[in-house]
Amino acid sequence: MKNLLYSTIFIFLALFTGTANAQEDMMNLLNKQDKPAIDYTTATFKTTKVVVGESSENPPTGNMLFLITHHFGALNTGYENLFGLKQATIRLGLEYGVTDWLGFGVGLNTLQNTWDGFLKIKALRQSKGARRMPLTLTIFGSTAIYTTKWSDPSRKNYFTSRISYASQLIIARKFGERFSFQLAPTYVHVNLVATPDDHNNIFALGAGGRFKITQRVSINAEYYYLFPNQIKSTPAYSSFSAGIDIETGGHVFQIFLTNAMGENLETIITQTTGTWFNGNIFLGFNISRIFTIVKPKQFRKTE
């Protein structure tokens, strides 16, 4: 009889404790669901390029982007050159999204046989809900190495003379579903310049925008204002580029016109030697393709 009483009390306590724990777990779950989620803004720009310059975007986490950038020759080279169609410079690039805020990439450019590599960090991300942030702030830093033969091999040449650096602070905002805009203060350092009158440190201010026409088509434009009296040995102009983005599933095609012959930031800023007004216009395109390397875990972040 005594054992029966003890067993009954034990079962009652076990059921009561289990019910209390279940209620507590249910309350914790409900409290978590009541907390608002952080709703991050996506697709401020459709790919990592606005036109020829960098956008605020990285590839998605665990995804690799293969990017082909192609520029024909200048239109003002005339009929004998088929208005630039007989010439071409190409950059092949790979970019990878390590996390939702960190990406990196490498590329090879046929212009001066240039290798480049970069890091891209989203320090702030535009969001609403539990965390309200009105803009995205991306930090970009790159290094380019030119590997063409020395112009004067008889003199003492240093490997460091082949190197240049670029950095940007990209401030971007998506205004509704159709329009996105960014500002990009830009700094370029060139180790070796042509004359003592040329500056090693070069500053520019970039601005770019995207206007979505349909779900898969947008018009993009981009301008880099080169501050004057920094490059004196050769003509140096601000670059302007405009084009159309077309998304087809895993591909994004960008077809554009630009007066910038270069395909990395260092050359876009320092080696734009003609203007639209004198016909120094290059027809070009970007083709980007995304591949999933690591499938990220799906979760919803709350605070």
pLDDT digits (tens, 9 = 90+) for 210-243: 999 998 999 999 999 999 989 988 888 999 999 9
pLDDT at 24: 54
Distance CA 146, CA 291 (A): 29
Going from N- to C-terminal start, the domains of the chain cover: 1-34, 42-292
Class of domain 42-292: mainly beta
pLDDT digits (tens, 9 = 90+) for 264-280: 899 999 999 989 988 88
Task: State the SS3 of the chain.
Answer: CHHHHHHHHHHHHHHHHHHHHHHHHHHHHHHHHHCCEEEECCCCCCCCECCCCECCCCCCECEEEEEEEEEEEEHHHCHHHHHHCCCEEEEEEEEEECCCCEEEEEEEECHHHEEEEEEEEEEECCEEECCCECCEEEEEEEEEEECCCCCCCCCCCCHHHHEEEEEEEEEEEEECCCEEEEEEEEEEEECCCCCCCCCCEEEEEEEEEEEECCCCEEEEEEEEEECCCCCCCCCCCCEEEEEEEEEECCEEEEEEEECCCCCCHHHHHHCCCCCHHHCCCEEEEEEEEEEECCCCCCCCCEC
Strands 63-74 and 88-97: antiparallel
- Give the residue ranges of the chain where pLDDT is below 70: 1-35, 296-303
pLDDT at 88: 86
pLDDT at 34: 57
**pTM to 2 decimal places:** 0.82
pLDDT at 298: 55
